[in-house]
Structure 1
Amino acid sequence: MRIIIAIVIAAVMLPACMAPARAADLAEVQQRGVLRHLGVPYANFVSGSGDGLDVELIKGFAASIGVRYEYVPENWDTIVRDLTGHKVKVTGDQVEFLEETPVKGDLIANGFTILPWREKVLTFSTPVFPSQIWLVALAESKVRPIKPTGSVDRDISRTKALMKGKSVLTLEKTCLDPSLYKLSETGARVICFRGKLNELAPALLKREAEMTILDFPDALIALEKWPGRFKVIGPVSHKQMMGVAFAKDSQKLCKAFNEFLSKSRKDGSYLKIVKKYYPSSVRYFPEFFKGTDYRAR
C-alpha cells in the first residue's frame, strides 16, 4: 500500500518538477538570496575569468539589493531562452515563441545590444554602454576609410558601397546579424562566421575574409590589442545602445537596477568601471557619458 501511495505522489509531483520555472522578480530574488547573472564571455564586458565591466556592475547591483552574486556561463544560442523560459525563433524582426524551457537566470549582461526583436521578448534597463556597428579591414587593404559627411545616413551609404565585391564576415543571431543591416543588398559576399564574436578580428587577421563588421566595443579592443593591424572604414549602423536584459515578468527587478545605475552614474562609480575596461570609449561617445540620464537619440 505504501509503495502505491509513493508512486501516486511521485506521479503528481513529477510534472511540477519538470515544469519550467517562471522568471523571478525582485522579491523572489531577495527571498532566494542569489542574483543569477547570465553572461556570454565577450569583449571586456564578461571576461570569463570573473571580471569585466558587466560583471562588476552586476556584482554591485547584487550587493545593493542584499543578495549574493552568481555568474551563469552562457552562449548566444541559448541565453534568451534561459532567461525567458521559452525557445524563441527569430526571422528578421519577427519573433515566434516555441516550447517552454527551464529558467536559469535573472538577467542578461554581456554587452547586450538593444535590438527591436529583443525588445519584443525582453525588458531592457536604461542604456549601460553605447555602441555602433563599424566596417573594419586590415590596415594594408586598398579600401580607404570614408570621410565623414556630417550625416550618419550618408556615411552608412558610403561605407556599404565599399563592400561591393568584397568578402565580409558577419555573425548570425547577434548584433552583427547581416539581416539587421541589409548587407545582402550591398553586393558584398557575406560570410556567416561559425565561431564566436571574440574571434572575428583574429579571423580577419588570418585573412578568412577581406573585411568584417564589428560593434564599437569589440573594435576598440581589436585596435588596442593589435595596433596598426586594422582600420575602421566607416559605420554600418546608427548609434546603438547596450543594456541589461530582464524577463517581462521582472519589472521590479529592472526598476531596482535602473535606480542602482542612476546612483552609480551620479556618484562616479560607474564611470570608474568604464575607464577601467574601456578607457578610450569616453572620447568616442562623450555625449553618452556626460549626463546621468542620457537616452539614445
Structure 2
Amino acid sequence: MDGGMKGKESGGFSRRHFSGPAVLQNLIGVGTLTLLSLWVHRQMTILLVMSLFWLTSPACCADLKEVKAKGVLRHLGIRYANFVTGSGDGLDVEMVRLFAKSLSVRYEFVETTWDDVFSDLSGRKVRPSGHGFEVVGNALIKGDIAASGLTILPWRTKLVNFSTPTLPNQVWLVARADAGLKPIVPSGSVEQDVEAVRSQLRGVRVLGIFDTCLDPRYYTLDRAQADVRKFDGSVNELVPAVIEGRAECALQDVPDALASMDKWPGKIKVIGPVSSMQRMGYAFSRTSPELREAFDKFFEQCKKDGTYIGIVRKYYPAIPKYYPEFFSQE
C-alpha cells in the first residue's frame, strides 16, 4: 500500500504538497521574501529616479533660507559693458554684492554666457521661439540670481521671475559715423520715431545677437527689408565690428549705446530707436520667491537712501539725464 502510494506520488503532486503545514509555511516564506525583494528593488529604483530629477530640476534652486544656510549668494553674470566689466566691478556686480552683504552671506560671481544664463538659473535648457520658448533638456543650476543688464522680455518672464524694474531701456540703431543713415529728429512719438528709423533700412546690413534683446528679428527689421546678419561675437564686440566696416550698423540697448558714444567719440552715431520702451531687471528662479522678495525690499531701500542712483551715476552717468522720470520715482 505504501509502495502504491509512493508510485502515485512520484508522477505528480499529492494533496500533501498543498496542505502540509510545513510545506505551506515554506511556500509562504519564499513568496514573501520574493515579494519583499521586488518591493525593495522597486523603491530603490524610484528613489534613484527622484534623486536624478532633483539634481537636474529647478526644484533644487536655492531660495532665501537655503542661501542663508549655505552662506553664499551666487551671482550669474556676463561680461557686458558697465554692468559686469570683467574687472571685478560694474553696476550689477556692486548691487548684488551689496545684496549679499544685506543677507549676511558671501558674494560669489559665476560667469556665464547669453546662451546659458537662463538655463544656469532655471535648470531648463530652452530654445527661444517668438514670445515663448521650447524646453530642450535639463541643465545644472549654477546660480541664485542673474544680473547683467538683462532686459525683461516676454519669453524670459515665462521661464524666470524678474525683480521690480531696475533700469529703463530701449534698443537703438547705432551706425558708423560715415554711414549714409541719418539720425532721426525725435517726434515725441516712439511709434513714429521707430518708423522713421525703419524707413532707412532697405538693403542696409544690420548686425544683431540672436535670441537676445538685440535680435533684429525680434523687431521685424527683415520686414523693413534690412539685411539682417547674426553676430557671433560678444555684445562688447558689436560696435568695434561696425567701426571696422563689417556692417553699416548694429543694435544696442540704451546703456551700452551711451557707453559706446563715450568710448568711441566721433566714430559712431545713434540713428534712433527700433523698439518701444523696455525695462531691465534682476532674474530669479521661479522656485525662489522669497529671495526675489528680499531683493525687491533691498532695492527699494537703496533707491530711498540714494545708494542706487549713486551707483548708476558711477557707471552710466548719462542715463538719469535721458530718463529723469524713471529716477524721479525715487
Instruction: State the TM-score, normalizing by the size of structure 1.
Output: 0.92
Residue of structure 2 equivalent to 1:188: 226
Paired residues for 1:80-229 under 5 Å = 80-229=118-267
The code of the aligned residue for 2:275 comes to S
CA distance in 1, matches of 2:129, 2:203: 26
1:209: how far off? 0.3
Offset at 1:55?
A: 0.2
| Matching residue of 1:50 | 88
Distance 1:276 1:124 in 2: 24
Separation in structure 2 between the aligned mates of residue 190 and residue 100 of structure 1, nearest angstrom: 31
Superposed displacement of residue 12, structure 1? 9.4
For 1:153, the aligned partner's letter is E
Return the structure number with greater strand share.
Answer: 1
Distance 1:251 1:160 in 2: 40
**Residues 92 and 179, structure 1, Cα contact 8 Å, conserved in 2:** no
Could you give the per-residue CA deviations for residues 103-124 of structure 1, whole angstroms, max 9, x where no partner exists?
1100100000000000000100
Distance 2:98 2:88 in 1: 14
Structure showing the higher helix proportion among its residues: 2
Percent of residue pairs identical? 48
Separation of aligned partners in 1, 2:52 and 2:136 = 20
The amino acid across from 1:246 in the alignment is F
Q: How does 1:51-90 map to 2 (within 5 A)?
A: 51-90=89-128
What is the alpha-carbon distance in structure 1 between the residues aligned to residue 244 and residue 227 of structure 2?
17
Q: Partners of 1:31 and 1:190 in 2: how far apart? A: 48
Identify the residue that residue 274 of structure 1 maps to in structure 2. Answer: 312
User: What is the rounded CA distance, in whole Å, between the counterparts of 1:95 and 1:189 in structure 2?
Assistant: 25
Aligned counterpart, 2:56: 20
Counterpart Cα distance in 1 of 2:152 and 2:45: 43
1:148, distance to aligned residue in structure 2 (A): 1.1
What is the identity, as a one-letter code, of the residue corresponding to 1:180? Answer: Y
| Aligned match of 1:257 | 295
Q: Which residue of 2 aligns with 1:286?
A: 324
Higher Cα Rg, which structure: 2
1:11 is displaced (CA, Å) by 9.2
Partners of 1:125 and 1:244 within 8 A in 2: yes
1: CA distance, partners of 2:142 / 2:183: 43
CA separation in 2, counterparts of 1:242 and 1:172?
18
CA-CA distance at 1:17 after TM superposition: 6.5
C-alpha contact (below 8 Å) 1:30/1:67 kept by paired residues: yes
Partner SS for 1:76: coil
Matches within 5 A, 1:233-248: 233-248=271-286
User: RMSD over aligned Cα, in angstroms?
Assistant: 1.7
Contact 1:40 1:73 survives alignment (8 Å):
yes
* SS of the residue 1:55 aligns to: helix
Question: In 1, distance between residues paired with 2:88 and 2:56?
Answer: 28
Deviation track 1:221-268 (CA, whole Å, cap 9, x = no partner) reads 110001111111111011111100001111110000000000000000
**CA deviation profile, 1:2-47 (whole Å, cap 9, x unmatched):** xxxxxx9x99997637832621111111111100000011010001
SS at match of 2:174: strand
Cα distance in 1 for residues equivalent to 2:268 and 2:139 = 42
Q: Give the superposition deviation at 1:98.
A: 2.8
> Aligned letter for 1:136?
V
Name the amino acid aligned to 1:89.
R
Give the whole-Å Cα distance in 2 for the aligned partners of 1:114 and 1:12.
39
Please say if residues 216 and 251 of structure 2, whose CA atoms lie closer than 8 Å, have aligned partners that are also in contact: no
Which position in structure 1 is the counterpart of 2:4? none
* Separation in structure 2 between the aligned mates of residue 101 and residue 200 of structure 1, nearest angstrom: 29
Provide the C-alpha distance between the structure 2 equivalents of 1:109 and 1:130, rounded to a whole number of angstroms. Answer: 15
How many aligned positions are there? 284
> What letter matches 1:20 in structure 2?
T
Q: Which moved more, 1:178-187 or 1:256-265?
A: 178-187
